[in-house]
Amino acid sequence: MPCSPNISLTKSSHSKLSETDFSSLVFGKVISDHMFIADYQNGAWGDFRIVPYGPMDIYPGNATLHYGQAIFEGMKAYKTKKGDVLVFRAESNARRLNESAKRMCMPEFPEQHFIEALRSLLDLDREWVPQEKGSSLYIRPFMFAMDNYLGVRPSESYRFMIFTSPVGAYYTKPVSVKVETNYTRATEGGTGEAKAAGNYAASLYPAQLAQQEGYDQLLWTDGKTHSQIEESGTMNVMFKIKGTLITAPTGKGTILKGITRKSVIQLAKDWGQKLEERFLTVAELQESLENGTMEEAFGVGTAATIAFIHKIHVNGKDYFLPESAADAFSKHALKTLDGIKYGELQDTHHWMLSI
Ligand SMILES: *Cc1c(COP(=O)(O)O)cnc(C)c1O
């Protein structure tokens, strides 16, 4: 398929494909040959182009660098055994980008242009989608302010871009987490629901403290009382206690509306799995770990799809979860999602976009 007529194309004169070792990919290190760019000026998006991936000029007065109007998305493309390229739930990412844009006072990037740009870029760089089981092409759409102006106000110009990065089979080693009851990721009325760059900047320091204590990630609690489990910062979290799946509800503005979360909830419904979208309190979490009624704990997000949690630190104590059984809900969900993503299971919910 040729590039969309709305998009001008400048091909890279030297592909990095032959110099790339697909057997030892480190997450985020290797970037594919091309990137998509669109600029917003005078109230409209234009100048859609695909060019070789490379540096760009930014004024020191660029508003993003000072006031942080920057949002992003994360999604993946997979290659089937037959060599077809499939993207998981791309329309949901396009929609969520625009929800984030609204909160950060940025213009929407129309969904049909988002999909068109994605299709053109992935078609051009389809050789970059790795085929080995478990590997995929990570896709990073993002938008940021472009005004060269120091006054505090929403920027009037913006740039939307997409580039991609081949990633190897994600670490399936179970993760350890620490319940954070001092620092806050999000609070009602804040920006926690937006996939905004600043949310990540604010969470780096507490996450680093936890890593120095030997934990992989944090389990954030609500900003007001620190008594309810929210999510894990790059993943939503789910628990199975006494046969019931429990995950924090979205809609209060503090939980990122994960597309993996939404998909796992759909599978739970398909399978008649008992499910409660409610806040689990820190006390309940600790009690279920004390009395052994916590059956499963796992993170859900694009990077790992499902990350099993084997250790939880809460109120000064470490609790260990036994490796869940082969028929555990989380294992079944991971297998099913992988099957759909690699085109091996029927895509009954029409989640996959074929490039
Ligand atoms: C991106 C993200 C997630 C996971 O969302 P997916 O759409 O499943 O990848 C969860 N929490 C936060 C804070 C995020 O930024």
Report the amino acid identity of residue 140. Answer: R
* Pocket of ligand 1 contains residue 184 by CB under 6 Å: no
* Pocket of ligand 1 contains residue 234 by CB under 6 Å: yes
Q: Is residue 195 in a domain?
A: yes
Residue 233 has what pLDDT? 81
Render pLDDT for 112-156 as a digit per residue (tens, 0 to 9): 999 999 999 999 999 999 988 889 999 999 999 999 999 999 999
* Pocket of ligand 1 contains residue 192 by CB under 6 Å: no
Q: Does the pLDDT at position 2 exceed 60?
A: no
Which residue, 136, 168, 200, sits at the end of a domain?
A: 168
Q: Which atom of ligand 1 is nearest to the CA of 195?
A: 15
Rounded Cα–Cα distance for residues 191 and 193 (Å) = 6
Q: Is residue 28 in a domain?
A: yes
Q: Is residue 71 in a domain?
A: yes
Q: Is residue 154 in a domain?
A: yes
Query: What is the distance in A from the centroid of ligand 1 to the CA of 96?
Result: 11
Do 151 and 211 lie in a common domain? no
Residue 4 has what pLDDT? 76
Do 118 and 258 lie in a common domain? no
Q: Which atom of ligand 1 is nearest to the CA of 262?
A: 8
Helix (H, G, I), strand (E, B) or coil at 355: coil
pTM, two decimals, is 0.96
Render pLDDT for 206-215 as a digit per residue (tens, 0 to 9): 999 999 999 9
Residue 244 has what pLDDT? 98
Torsion, CA 183, CA 302, CA 265, CA 229, rounded to 10: -10
Render pLDDT for 232-286 as a digit per residue (tens, 0 to 9): 989 999 999 999 999 999 999 999 999 999 999 999 999 999 999 999 999 999 9
Residue 171 has what pLDDT? 59
The dihedral built from the CA positions of residue 348, 336, 229 and 256, taken in this order, carries a sign that is negative
Q: Does the pLDDT at position 1 exceed 60?
A: no
Q: Is residue 354 in a domain?
A: no
Ligand 1: residue of 99, 230, 234, 250 to mutate (most ligand atoms within 8 A of CB) is 234
Burial 106-129 (b: 16+ CB within 10 A, else e): bbbbeeebbbbbbbbbbebbbebb
- 327 by Cβ neighbours in 10 Å (0-12 / 13-18 / 19+) ranks as exposed
The CATH number covering residue 250 comes to: 3.20.10.10
Query: What is the distance in A from the centroid of ligand 1 to the CA of 214?
Result: 23
Q: How many domains does the chain have?
A: 2
Q: Is 68 left (phi over 0), alpha (psi -120 to 50) or beta?
A: left
- Bridge-partner residues for 148, per DSSP? 62
The CATH number covering residue 20 comes to: 3.30.470.10
Do 153 and 198 lie in a common domain? no
Q: Is residue 345 in a domain?
A: no
Helices (H) and strands (E) in the chain, counts: 7, 17
Q: Is residue 323 in a domain?
A: yes
Residue 70, H or E segment: strand 70-72
Do 142 and 32 lie in a common domain? yes
Do 297 and 255 lie in a common domain? yes
Q: Which domain holds residue 200?
A: 175-339
Do 180 and 304 lie in a common domain? yes
* Pocket of ligand 1 contains residue 233 by CB under 6 Å: yes
Ligand 1: residue of 302, 305, 341 to mutate (most ligand atoms within 8 A of CB) is 302
